[in-house]
Homo-oligomer: A and B are copies of this chain.
Amino acid sequence: MEQKLWSISELADECGVTTRTIRFYEDKGLLQPQRVGANRVYNYQDKARLILILRGKRLGFSLEDIGEFLALYHAECDPAHASQLRYLLDKVQAKVKVLRQQQEDLAQTLQELTRIETECLSHLPDSEMPT
């Protein structure tokens, strides 16, 4: 069973980014595709990494944060020395805290927005009714 592979522009299309963005992420050390000659070639793992990066971005993380975050996935498989694990654990717990705050913010904002939405609708002619 051979692995599916992507060129840079194929990957860019499928993930909704530009090739420039992908190369930029590589410059930052977030991606390390294989090469065929000079050309970059991406496998499924590379694609999964990119998708993780984009999710991180949607959540407002910096690329630097995302870099550390990606490192966690690997470090987890290598429970070699506890001091490093301790460090990673601290990082994770800090991020969990940020995300929980964000969840709260999000819930509040959504509530207010939907309230405004129904307010709007109640003032409009009822062209919004599903037939």
Contact = CB atoms under 8 A, between A and B. Distances in A.
Interface string A55-98: 11011100000000000110010010010011011001101100
A116 interface: yes
A55 B120 contact: no
Interface of A: 55-56, 58-60, 72-73, 76, 79, 82, 85-86, 88-89, 92-93, 95-96, 99-103, 105-106, 108-110, 113-114, 116-117, 119-121, 123-125
A124 to B, nearest CB: 6
27 contacts: A55-B108, A55-B109, A56-B109, A58-B60, A59-B102, A59-B105, A59-B106, A59-B109, A72-B113, A72-B116, A76-B120, A85-B120, A85-B123, A88-B116, A89-B117, A89-B120, A89-B121, A89-B124, A93-B117, A95-B113, A99-B106, A99-B109, A100-B110, A102-B106, A103-B103, A103-B110, A106-B106
